[in-house]
């Protein structure tokens, strides 16, 4: 077995280190995604929320920041009205400490089972005049309004609102 001197071992170690760094650099180069191409928000979950106590159906949408939003930016969700009267628009301001936002519509009427409803999601500037990002998605209800119970006629202990409110 041939003995290797110190210069040969150092040279081979340098070449191996250089080759590994080139491979890692190439992997980073091909997997890099520029921040400008990432969306501002990511859809986490949502759908229709059924409240049997009040006999109401609402849209419920959860989004998560992918890129940081500046404090005061407006997150706007436009929910299609199932009754066909336009859109319910819900706005919420971005805050420094929050990374996830939950947007809920007012109670909706006319929901049909297995029908897709349009939801438009936008991020606006602080003043609300410039659109910075937008996305369109569809939500489907598995329950129709025909299976909803009637609003309760009476109240019970712990219920803090009047009937049919």
Write out the CATH class of domain 39-147. mainly beta
At 10-58, the pLDDT tens digits run 999 999 999 999 999 999 999 988 877 789 999 999 899 988 778 889 9
At 76-85, the pLDDT tens digits run 999 999 988 8
At 93-147, the pLDDT tens digits run 999 999 999 999 999 999 999 999 999 999 999 998 999 999 999 999 888 888 7
Q: Map 32-99 to HEC letters.
A: CCCHHHCCCEEEEEEEEEEECCCCEEEEEEEEEECCCCCCCCEEEEEEECCCCCCEEEEEEECCCCCC
Is the model's pTM score more than 0.75?
A: no
């Amino acid at each position: 077995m041939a003995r290797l001197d110190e210069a040969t071992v150092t040279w081979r170690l340098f070449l191996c280190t250089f080759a590994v760094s080139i491979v890692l650099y190439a992997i980073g180069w091909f997997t890099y995604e520029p921040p400008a191409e990432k969306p501002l928000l990511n859809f986490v979950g949502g759908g229709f929320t059924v409240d049997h106590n009040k006999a109401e159906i609402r849209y419920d949408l959860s989004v998560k920041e992918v890129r940081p939003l500046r404090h005061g930016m407006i997150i706007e969700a436009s929910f299609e009205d199932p009754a066909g009267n336009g859109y319910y628009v819900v706005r919420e301001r971005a805050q420094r400490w929050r990374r996830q936002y939950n947007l809920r519509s007012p109670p909706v009427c006319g929901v049909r089972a297995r029908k897709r409803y349009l939801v438009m999601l936008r991020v606006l500037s602080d003043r609300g005049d410039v659109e910075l990002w937008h996305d369109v998605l569809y939500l489907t209800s598995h329950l129709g309004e025909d299976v909803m119970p009637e609003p309760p006629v009476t109240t019970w202990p712990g219920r803090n609102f009047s009937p049919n409110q």
